[in-house]
Chain A
Amino acid sequence: MGTRTVIPFGPQHPVLPEPIHLDLVLEDEKVVEAVPKIGFVHRGFEKLVEKMDFNELVYVADRICGICAFIHSMAYCQGVEALMSVEVPPRAVFLRTIWSELARLSSHLLWLGLMADAFGFESLFMQSFRIREKIVDMLEEMTGGRIILGVCRVGGVRRDVPNDALTEIVRRVKALGAEMRRLADVFLQDDSVNHRLAGVGVLTRDQAAELGCVGPMMRASGISRDTRTLGYAAYGAVDFAPIVETDGDSYARCAVRIGELFQSIDIIAQVASRIPGGEVGVKVSGYPDGEYHSRCEQPRGEVIHYVKGDGTRYLQRYRVRTPTFANVPALVKMLQGCELADVPVLVLTIDPCISCTER
């Protein structure tokens, strides 16, 4: 056994937009143990249930994270609606699905850009962000918000989008698909990219299951599980299958996210072609009573919003289990045995969203 050295990684590091700390125990250049530390920006959002009523809390849910904001508010609203037996108008449910998929496109493109930046491919980073900007523009046109959309509410959504505007959005998203294809070709076929991703951070199917992985992390290891297949929102009316890879390495995780870009475009087109007319919200009366675990598929995987009400306007408990929280144990295991130079890439391949995790 060589001499052991402990190297602190983070909380501030060039590849980390948000703070997470890892104590890396090394033998020469090989990591033999990694101990994570989070909690640098814990905000106690969940405790705000004591101060804000269940309707106001939608704004809090929307602000848990700047990347998966809309899906957080949708998951929260779904939970409260289930408690109160609110039947959301179909048009609102379809609009929620479209915005969820646009949020997924935005998030995956952001991840691709950050990943390219991490291994020093600056032009690829810029191309990813250039395409992402067009998605964010579409969200702004439809909702008025670019990142925090603020359109979800208990009982529906706050804004409608005319059908001709939806047709135009579908046309533009499909056109962006061609640009994404060129981007995807570089990620999946360029030798320098493959050199940094292929065979790095392998997680077998059994390990992924054992470690409780979710989202692309899990699907890249051959597990075909996607919360959207449970049919929440309008996903029950959409024809799609989870994108699965089997190699379990960083390349496979990249391939899953790239596959999901094109899947999202297809889902948006399907949903827009089937969206029914009618209202986009119903009036909600009464207070939530009982408990419910609402779950959705965020870009990083399954998110759980647990809501418990006691018949008053304040919830008794609100708890959010984010996908990154579920993927941290896998990161700890994945780092064991890797080279020090691969640590930044491996940390990024779980697509860490620390602001979600810290809540």
Chain B
Amino acid sequence: MSDPAVNPRELNPKEQQAVEEIPASALLERVQKMRAEGWRLVHAACTRLVADQEVNYCFDRDGQSLDSPDSASLHGMHTLRVRLPMTDPELPSISSFYWPAFLYENEMHDLFGITVKGMALDFHGHLYTTMVPTPYVTKEPDHGD
């Protein structure tokens, strides 16, 4: 039942993943360019750090390599990262370029308290029903130990 030809190094390959940090003011222009280049919005998420917070927009191009668009074997994901202050964080919506982004953006608003301007569909804080408003907005994580 076993096949000695299996090369362990060929299993579970690690993806190429690049991060490009940009200012919030350059977000729309950069996202527009990603769309023109044929990138797919994979997901967007916010991370609360100690002094500030970051929003990641992740893209891929149908499993193509970050280096060579012709290579199907080396795939990768490209992340645009925007850093935001803890107080009154604000972002422009990218839903004019990637319509489905409205869901991610409403989530950022409801859970992290980020104001996203110009969303294609704005739930005005009613996408998620939580007991505590913006539950991910905490000064420091409570590890309980």
Instruction: Provide the main secondary structure of the chain A interface.
Output: mixed
Chain B residues near A40 (CB, 8 Å)?
A: 129
Q: Which residues of A contact B121 (CB under 8 A)?
A: 35, 332
Task: Report the Cα distance A210→B75, complex, angstroms.
Answer: 21
C-alpha gap A38/B107 in the complex (Å)? 11
Cα A92 to Cα B111 with chains together (Å): 37
Which residue of B56, B103, B127, B141 contacts A314 across the interface (Cβ within 8 Å)?
B141
B125 CB, min distance to chain A CBs, angstroms: 10
Cβ contact within 8 Å between B129 and A293: no
Q: For residue B9, which residue of chain A has the nearest CB?
A: A87
Q: How far is the CA of A59 from the CA of B79 in the complex (A)?
A: 28
Q: Is B43 a contact partner of A306 (Cβ separation < 8 A)?
A: yes
A319 at the binding interface (Cβ < 8 Å): yes
A237 to B142, CA, bound (A): 43
Instruction: Establish whether residues B62 and A321, one from each chain, have CB atoms under 8 Å apart when the complex forms.
Output: no
What is the bound-complex CA distance between A320 and B34, given in angstroms? 23
Which A residues are in CB contact (< 8 Å) with B14? 82, 292
Roughly how many angstroms separate A233 CA and B12 CA in the complex, as a whole number? 4
Closest to A225 in B: B62
Does A311 touch B at the CB level, under 8 Å?
no
B residues 1-57 touching A (CB-CB < 8 Å): 1-6, 8, 10-15, 17, 19, 40-43, 45, 47-49, 56
Asked whether any CB of chain B lies closer than 8 Å to the CB of A78, the reply is yes
Selected interface stretch from A125-133, A259-267, A269-277: A269-277
Q: Find the residue from B11, B77, B98, B126 having the highest chain A CB count within 10 A.
A: B11
Collect the chain A residues with CB atoms within 8 Å of residue B100's CB.
211-212, 326, 329-330
Please, how many angstroms separate the alpha-carbon atoms of A272 and B2 in the complex? 8
Taking a contact as CB atoms under 8 Å apart, the answer to whether B47 and A321 are in contact is no
The answer to whether A230 touches B103 (Cβ under 8 A) is no
B133 at the interface (CB under 8 A from A): no
A210 to B129, CA, bound (A): 28
Chain B residues with Cβ below 8 Å from A291 are 17, 19
B87 at the A interface (CB under 8 A): no
Interface residues on B, range: 35 or more
List CB contacts (< 8 Å) of A117-149 with chain B. none
Contacting residues of chain A (220-253) with chain B, CB-CB under 8 angstroms: 225, 229-234, 236-237
Choose the segment among A43-51, A63-71, A195-203 that binds chain B (4+ C-beta atoms closer than 8 Å).
A43-51
Q: Are B1 and A275 in contact (CB under 8 A)?
A: yes
A90 CB–B CB distance under 8 Å: yes
| A287 CB, min distance to chain B CBs, angstroms | 13
> Does any Cβ of B come within 8 Å of A104's Cβ?
no
* Closest B residue by C-beta to A88: B12
Q: Is the CB of B10 within 8 A of A236?
A: yes
Residues of A261-310 contacting chain B, CB below 8 A: 272-277, 291-293, 295, 302, 304, 306, 308
Candidates B103, B135, B144; contact of A44 at CB < 8 Å: B135
Of A35, A232, A272, A304, which contacts B43 at CB under 8 A?
A: A304
Indicate if the CB atoms of B2 and A274 lie closer than 8 Å.
yes
Q: How far is the CA of A326 from the CA of B45 in the complex (A)?
A: 13
Contact present for B58 and A293 (CB under 8 Å): yes
Contact yes or no, B12 A51, CB < 8 A: no
Chain A residues, CB < 8 A from B45: 306, 317, 319, 321
A316 within 8 A of B: yes
Q: In the assembly, what is the distance between CA of A244 and CA of B135, in Å? A: 41
Judging by beta carbons under 8 Å apart, are A39 and B128 in contact?
yes
Kindly list the 9 A-B residue pairs having the minimum CB-CB distance in the complex, ordered from nearest.
A39-B128, A321-B43, A329-B100, A274-B3, A50-B141, A212-B100, A317-B47, A319-B45, A163-B1
- Pull 19 A–B residue pairs with CB atoms less than 8 Å apart, ordered by A: A37-B127, A40-B129, A42-B129, A47-B135, A49-B141, A51-B144, A78-B12, A167-B1, A209-B40, A212-B41, A225-B62, A231-B10, A272-B1, A273-B1, A291-B17, A304-B58, A308-B47, A317-B45, A319-B45
Known: A89-B8, A230-B15. 10 other contacts (CB 8 A): A39-B110, A39-B126, A39-B127, A39-B129, A233-B12, A237-B11, A275-B1, A291-B17, A295-B42, A304-B42
Question: Which residues on A are within 8 Å of B, measured CB to CB?
Answer: 35, 37-40, 42, 44, 47, 49-51, 78, 81-82, 87-90, 93, 163, 166-167, 209-212, 225, 229-234, 236-237, 272-277, 291-293, 295, 302, 304, 306, 308, 314, 316-317, 319, 321, 325-326, 328-330, 332
